[in-house]
Amino acid sequence: MTTVVVDASVAVKWYVPEVHTLEAEKLLNNTYEIHAPELMLPEFGNIVWKKMQRRDLTAHEAGRIIKAFGNQDIRFHSHKSLLQAAFTGASLSNQTVYDWSYMALAVSLSCPFVTADERFYKALENTKLRKHLLWVTDI
């Protein structure tokens, strides 16, 4: 089984058809062990809420998505051990501590961080951390 860290930008594609949904769904084929910081829970919920506010989803659809996501087999990690590395990475790269929480977890697990967050990906794709960074279409 391949260990990966996945962010909310990828996870939402499992439930809402978007660009790169087919690639993101490859992570659900039982050959991946999916990890994420606990931050993913409110981030995912916020994305679904925004889609509901924009009327891309009905309240009923959003509720079903939140319930289904709650049943997804994801290993969540506390931020306590990630905060220092996430803060340092954010300070050095001018990217958010939120985004760096995922990268810090991937580095700590020695695995790839799969993202569909183009801004974060582009900011780090030419750094030494590239070995831990995987664009969603490269799964």
What pLDDT digit, counting tens, does each position of 1-46 carry?
999 999 999 999 999 999 999 999 999 998 999 999 999 999 999 9
pLDDT of residue 129: 87
What pLDDT digit, counting tens, does each position of 49-61 carry?
999 999 999 999 9
Q: Rounded to whole angstroms, how far apart are CA atoms 11 and 110?
A: 20
What pLDDT digit, counting tens, does each position of 60-98 carry?
999 999 999 999 999 999 999 999 999 999 999 999 999
Among 23, 127, 29, 1, residue whose Cα is nearest residue 9? 23
Written as one string, the DSSP assignment of 21-39 is HHHHHGGGSSSEEEEEETT
Query: Which structural domains are found in the chain, ordered by start?
Result: 2-138 (3.40.50.1010)
Question: pTM above 0.85?
Answer: yes
Q: Rounded to whole angstroms, how far apart are CA atoms 98 and 15?
A: 22
